[in-house]
Structure 1
Amino acid sequence: MKPYVHRRLRVFELMAKGKTNDEISQILDISRNKVAQDVHNILAAFSVRKRFRVVEEATSHGFVIFRGSEVEMHMAELERTLSAICPIQKDQQRDHENSAAKSAPKPFTQTILQGGNMPSLLSSREQDVLRWIAEGKTNAEIGSILQISKETVRNHVGHILGKLSTPNRICAVIEAVRRGFLVLDRSKEQHKETVLIAPEPKPGSRPLLILEGITVYDNFEVEIGVTNPRRDVIRTRSYNLLRFLANPVGRLHVRQAILDAVWGPSVFIEERAVDALVTRLRKFLNGCPYAIKTERGIGYSLVHV
């Protein structure tokens, strides 16, 4: 393994644990600029622009599994992914930083049709803090934006982690996205990403999920079909599986990632439960232009047919 790839793996592991660039620099005893270069390369390898999206992508592919506060990494897959991008030079890093500064996304500009009950779980200030955590801001930067002290931000972060039952900031954002509490504008993902708290829906009137030929409402009524759609009711777990597989359509999701998303990372369920749930959802989706495909015996993907 090349030295720079080994270092990237260590940087990635610390990113997954929610460490900032300064903290990574101190732990690995390398310069902050070198950490920034590695972070840039890791983002490029996963074709994303935010730290939590890297971990979200790696988790959905089964490269990373969270077990409490510990991070289990599938080193071979990560090594192949992180080896794909060669080290960038200082001039390239400067150009990237200048470009990023010009195109830095502003939060709270877009939303997608997903529901959530975050307003009843977190206070208004905690919601603000979580939004800026998702934007990649440090405690000091969040404090400056919200005009509160860094210590107050730290307290809010602690409350957020406790309420979401997550070990660090990165996991908190991923969990909020998984539950539909935070929503992303993915329409221009290669250029920008924005994060919002999903508004609380009015029962029976708001779509939670819209695909071609499938509309799921917040009372879990469903319209299935294109020409003559039928009305049905979807179970909560089946809906959670459908929403996870649809994010995005065509992506392979390994069984462990599905277990964590649908049942929760702290619940012990055998992987065959995923197969049973997939079988039930396949029958439910009969008549719509989507199907669940078995991928190499290790997971599933939602595909357009």
Structure 2
Amino acid sequence: MAAIGPPAERLDPHGRLLAQCRSELGEALDDAAQKPVRARWLLPVLPANWFVLRPAWSAALLILIGMALGSVVPQWYSSRMTQRPDAVTMKVSAPPRLSQQDLETMGIAAINWKAGGSFGSPSVELHLTAERPMELQGSLDDMDVKRVLTFVVENGQRFDSGVRLDSLELLRRRSSDTEVRQALRVAARKDRNPGVRLKALEALRGFEQDDAVRLTLLDALQNDDCPGVRVEAINALQAAMRAMGEKGISPQDQGLVNVLRDRMQRDPNNYIRMQSAAAIHQLGPRELH
């Protein structure tokens, strides 16, 4: 009978469990009372407690943080990459919208432009007529716009003089471009309209030290049948010679001398003969002649 144990312990196990829980709760309360005051003050401001007590505000805060990081971090990373000496910048050029066949079959209905584009470049509008009519808009730096304008002045027999003059008026703003100067030289030599040839020579002003431009001026001075074109050619050549003289450079060009002497003696225009003689005198010693 003694091995069976006290009847109270055998008959009331729930009472023992309740007493044990009360004992553990008392110990936990004693431990909490012994924690530092600072720890008790920090509990309300911990993020975990915020998420539990204010779930809606917590979700909104997380969204704002995500948006801020999403906008700031890529910019920071990009700036860091561009500062690296080994960083490689890739430039992608869009393919042209106009094929060579489009250029060869197109017509020009109108060329419009207005000032105020980027870096002083006008905004150009080209109305093309072809198998697929097209309207091109862009600046003079737009590859397709430049291709159309240079094609027009290089193939003057296909377009009316108004379109060619408008194209030259725009292209003269880009005379520093080698491809543009090539088109201007073709127009100055071959266009059937003297007004177009004259405007092309005017657009080449300032580039007389370019050998190809100088040859174009000499060809116009010697062979063009329009006195106005020849006057523009001799004036441009004289301006170039003066600029070279101011730099102490003497143009040792026998071809130039030969053309000037020919025009001095044979040109039907009195002004051109006089200016040719003045240019020869400007060259200096007679040994050049």
What is the TM-score with the length of structure 2 in the denominator? 0.24
Q: Which has the larger radius of gyration?
A: 2
Higher strand share: 1
Higher helix share: 2
What is the TM-score with the length of structure 1 in the denominator? 0.23
